[in-house]
Structure 1
Amino acid sequence: MTRFLLPLIVAAAVANAANANEAAKAAAPKGDPAKGQAIATTVCVACHAADGNSTGPANPKLAGQHAEYLLKQMKNFKGADGKQPERVNAVMNGMIAPYDEAQMRDLAAYFSMQQQKGEQAKNRETIEKGQKLYRAGDKSKGMAACAACHGPAGAGIPAQYPRIQGQYAEYIEAQLKAFRDGTRANDPAKMMRMIAIKMTDPEIKAVADYIAGLR
């Protein structure tokens, strides 16, 4: 059945991309990569590495991520008008606090231009299960396919859905669980929370491992 669903998923992703083109252009951060590099190589380097290819799964790979998504996350990490940040993380909330929006745009521009060094799927026993969930979801639970928004290869759609291909499996797993228990709640219209809440721990682990190997 998966082979029949995949063309529909691809078509949906293409349609989403076409509809998002104008919005993406309007929303695209027009930062200065050179200025962003100056910050990245002196501050961000400690956790994400100078080129955004972090060396450990506790910190996500930022290299090659859509600039729009990076900007949104940085803004979500930074509280405004004395309010709690939309995305709560003790480390990132403090790290991003000194930077204004122009500097965040510079960082987003810089990291988006870097080449990602992708991870690999490691669990052969769950690769088929992860692939099925990613490509077709689970109709019995009303769970949409990951590919419908993030694309068949996990490249995402700028200004709408992040690139997830090649990301650390452990980081993806942690974020899905955070969406599921509500400790991460900065997803528009609760899209990720509505999906993650329907997933078991083994399903999350399987799909996260599969995503790590996507190219």
Structure 2
Amino acid sequence: MKRLSLLMAVAAMLLAALPGSAAAQAAAKSKADPAKGKEIVASVCLACHSIDGNSEMSANPKLAGQHAEYLFKQMKEFKSVDGAAPIRVNAIMNGMIAAYDEAQMRDIAAYFASQRLKPETARNRDTIELGQRIYRAGDASKGLPACSGCHGPTGAGMPAQYPRIAGQFADYLEAQLRNFRTGAEAAEPSDEARTNDPEKMMRMIAIKMTDKEIKAVADYIAGLR
């Protein structure tokens, strides 16, 4: 019995030491240092995203309060590894993230996640009803699921799975939905074709949406709290 317990303990230690193990990943997350992240943000990221992650330009997303795991995933996918094309293509971000390792990315993610979001508001009263209907119910007639099914009733998302979208710039949300729609039929990712959604989930949703629906739901999400 003692021998079995010893073997199990040794096995657990070996598994924990594996770089790809859940234990190793959890340890990496716990070591993320928001203070170090802030130093990087203050020297590089603030030009587009502001020091507190509340961008003042609607083309650049607000990162304040976003789930750290989602931010980390996006940064990793912006980065080219061993000369291979990045999973997510953006001319600016691909260059910006190139100099940082995973530990630094986690620091940046932890810092932005710790900041308070200054939310946007819905601006178009004429499309609120349409945006709300799509977000909360989808459109069964064309197989369009409700956004709230993954992002939640208030747009808070789920850590490590679905991003927080409430209070985001409508312009940015609209652009991403259009990029996912283009990505659904693209051979490879580009600035206008986003393909880094798990299981093509967002691409299969966006391709079913009209320009009017995309604009309406983006504006509605901007006003969620």
Normalized against structure 2, the TM-score is what? 0.83
Shift of residue 42, structure 1, vs aligned partner: 1.3
- CA spacing shift, 1:101–1:56, aligned 2, 3 Å: same
Q: Which of these residues, 194, 208, 211, is aligned with residue 201 of structure 1?
A: 211
Partner in structure 1 of residue 58 of structure 2: 57
- CA spacing shift, 1:27–1:75, aligned 2, 3 Å: farther
Partner in structure 2 of residue 148 of structure 1: 149
Partner in structure 2 of residue 176 of structure 1: 177
1:158-184 deviation digits (Å, cap 9, x = unpaired):
010000000000000000000000100
Shift of residue 28, structure 1, vs aligned partner: 8.1
2:43 pairs with 1:33: no
Instruction: Map 1:1-215 onto structure 2 (within 5 A).
Output: 26=26, 29-30=29-30, 31-182=32-183, 183-215=193-225
Contact 1:127 1:209 (8 Å CA) reproduced? yes
Give 1:180's aligned amino acid. Answer: R
Residue aligned with 2:126, SS: coil
Shift of residue 72, structure 1, vs aligned partner: 0.2
Give 1:136's aligned amino acid. Answer: A
Give 1:198's aligned amino acid. Answer: K
Residue aligned with 1:86, SS: coil
Residue aligned with 1:126, SS: helix
Structure 1: which 4+ aligned runs deviate by more than 2 Å? 25-30
Give 1:205's aligned amino acid. Answer: K
Identity %: 72
Normalized against structure 1, the TM-score is what? 0.87
1:120-144 deviation digits (Å, cap 9, x = unpaired):
0000000010000000000001111
Give 2:169's aligned amino acid. Answer: Y
- CA spacing shift, 1:84–1:191, aligned 2, 3 Å: same
Structure 1: any 5+ residue segments left out of the alignment? 1-21
Residue aligned with 2:125, SS: coil
Higher relative contact order (CA 8 A, sep 6+): 1
1:24-78 deviation digits (Å, cap 9, x = unpaired):
x959833100000000111101000000000011100000000000000000000
Structure 2: any 5+ residue segments left out of the alignment? 1-21, 184-192
Contact 2:28 2:103 (8 Å CA) reproduced? no
- CA spacing shift, 1:27–1:158, aligned 2, 3 Å: farther
- CA distance in 1 between partners of 2:57 and 2:177 (Å): 18
- CA RMSD, 1 decimal: 1.6
Give 2:211's aligned amino acid. Answer: D
Contact 1:29 1:71 (8 Å CA) reproduced? no
